[in-house]
Chain A
């Protein structure tokens, strides 16, 4: 919108309350407009573990844990909100995705491309999809060399995509912008023969860089009883 000279004179004559309201409005809208291009949304339950409260385009995250339990679920729940709002996602190097679980976590399967067995070409394939897909979840089938990892991180930054690495046993030699670790994953709902798996409690520890370098801890149900992610309170949760 352009402002003509008479309007500008008019603005100077406005009463102070209107001016304050206008400037408050511009303060509120400007950062949102800027962040829309810079950030990709996550579900509110996960916002707390991300320094920006959302996924910053161009950044790299790793999700690690000593075993395998929970890392893939966390990766899928991180891409869910962006996927549901129109972003494309790709899952590279995971040959055994549970599609129902992904859909229940909120991932739009219509915008999810799977490259289940990229084999030796996994790094090239990842670089290719980073060209045009907003979020890439990578499970490297082989241990990446540092130069290779660095190239992919640079590609994500340059293409303003988000690269989420689930290193598993292969490892990831390049320090990420944000490191998430899943600890203490415990299932509830089964006893000796009774019930069924209902939900899994886990603690996610987030370690960022620079100002976000102090680890923060976040307790989640992932998945919760309805297959989505939920924030977990103290041990005796009344919802149990």
Chain B
């Protein structure tokens, strides 16, 4: 499960009509992005970032949490926490805790069932005399599935720290608003139904994927759709697989989208071909010139020195056999402190990477695997 750092701003949890809350929250995100470009708006007042890569830069999760909190508090009071999975990380943030890796089940156990935010479930469990997440998690799986259904079974996995997040934890509308993502959700084209219109092959696949979900948890099986965007990561949206749910044709015409052609709508998009590996979490990189000094990017998005060697995740230096770019990545138009970033393609003897640089820090965003 992903290690997540969550920033929770108690004063920004409820949107107002004028949009002032979301504007302040956008400033918080911009401030936090100084430490990691992979910030996700979870819902109004709550954002998350993967902790592992950035913690390597800043001397551990504790140091990272302090820095991020300080940055966010320049805008508004903020609580920061780290744990495995989004659900636990939000609860950790409310308590200002860093839950050690693997310690999430123990952290969740004494918390009240109401933390799941599902009133019906809380009521049912209360009548059974179960009041803590640990007590709920201790119920055997088959029992929970039979008595509380699929949603209850998922909540059960979350309560035990086996699954990362509840379905209604996120407000995708807020996330879209804040990253300025013009890709509309679009009307989901629902399959004609599980029994009608589905071929034998589709039905067989649906059955075995459901079986895999029982094994791995609902979010263990996902499917992917393409959408508009500049970077390879922005162009893919991963959604939990659902039997008979919107699958094929959910995004019309997106099956083969090409950067080329006349009206490529995304200035700054990296030319084809696309990388086969897009890292879901930022991977730390160091890029140095021939003298071993870090390569910097000017305010206008130009390289100040010539890249010569690359180190990935603190590994050994590898000489570059070629590089190309930079392409400006001037995203987040809404942000007052516009992010000045750039992308660079680099080739070593072992691989070709797409690097992202922001505020002097380099990350491996994708690998042409």
Contact = CB atoms under 8 A, between A and B. Distances in A.
A125 interface: yes
Contact of A100 (B226, B260, B306): B226
Contact of A69 (B250, B274, B325, B350): B350
A131 B208 contact: yes
Given A72-B369, A114-B223, 19 more contacts: A72-B276, A72-B277, A88-B202, A88-B204, A98-B277, A99-B226, A103-B255, A103-B256, A109-B225, A113-B222, A114-B224, A128-B212, A189-B324, A190-B322, A190-B345, A192-B323, A197-B352, A200-B368, A223-B273
B324 A112 contact: no
Interface of A: 67-73, 76, 86-88, 90, 95-104, 108-119, 121, 124-125, 128-134, 187, 189-200, 223-227
Contacts of A67: 350-351
A119 B163 CA distance: 12
Do most interface residues of chain B lie in helix, strand or loop, or is the interface mixed? Answer: mixed
Which of B1, B204, B221, B351 counts the most chain A CB atoms within 10 A?
A: B221
A119 to B, nearest CB: 8
B296 to A, nearest CB: 15
B201 A128 contact: no
B270 to A, nearest CB: 7
B241 interface: yes
Interface stretch (B102-110, B131-139, B152-160, B231-239): B231-239
B247 A110 contact: yes
B366 interface: yes
B291 interface: no
A229 B255 CA distance: 17
A67 B368 CA distance: 12
B146 interface: no
Interface of B: 1, 199, 201-202, 204-209, 211-212, 215-216, 220-226, 232, 235-236, 238, 241, 247-250, 255-258, 260, 270-280, 303, 306, 322-325, 345, 347, 350-352, 366-369
Contact of B276 (A98, A108, A134): A98
B345 A197 contact: yes
Contact of B224 (A112, A131, A198): A112
A109 B280 contact: no
A197 B279 contact: no
B215 A70 contact: no
Contact of A187 (B202, B226, B368): B368
Contacts of A99: 224-226, 235-236, 238, 278
A110 B248 contact: yes
B86 to A, nearest CB: 15
B221 A98 contact: no
A72 B366 CA distance: 13
Nearest to A228: B273
A226 B272 contact: yes
Contact of B369 (A70, A121, A134): A70
A73 B276 CA distance: 6
Given A103-B226, A187-B347, A196 B274 contact: no
A148 B249 CA distance: 37
Nearest to B204: A132
Question: A-side binding surface: helix, strand, loop or mixed?
Answer: mixed
Contacts of A108: 248, 255
Contacts of B235: 99-100
B271 to A, nearest CB: 4
Contacts of A192: 306, 322-323
A161 to B, nearest CB: 10
Contacts of B272: 104, 225-227
B322 A191 contact: yes
B236 A87 contact: no
Q: Which 10 A-B pairs have the closest CB atoms?
A: A132-B208, A110-B248, A99-B236, A132-B204, A100-B274, A190-B322, A88-B205, A223-B273, A227-B273, A190-B324
27 contacts: A68-B351, A72-B276, A73-B276, A76-B276, A86-B199, A87-B201, A88-B204, A97-B278, A98-B236, A100-B236, A100-B257, A109-B225, A110-B223, A111-B205, A112-B223, A113-B221, A115-B220, A119-B216, A133-B205, A133-B209, A187-B368, A190-B322, A192-B306, A196-B345, A225-B273, A226-B272, A227-B274
B224 A197 contact: no
Most buried by B among A86, A97, A109: A109
A189 B247 CA distance: 36
A222 B117 CA distance: 49
B77 to A, nearest CB: 35
Nearest to A95: B280
B347 A116 contact: no
Given A115-B212, A197-B347, A101 B220 contact: no
Nearest to A118: B216
B201 A98 contact: no
Given A125-B216, A192-B323, A96 B223 contact: no
A69 B215 CA distance: 31
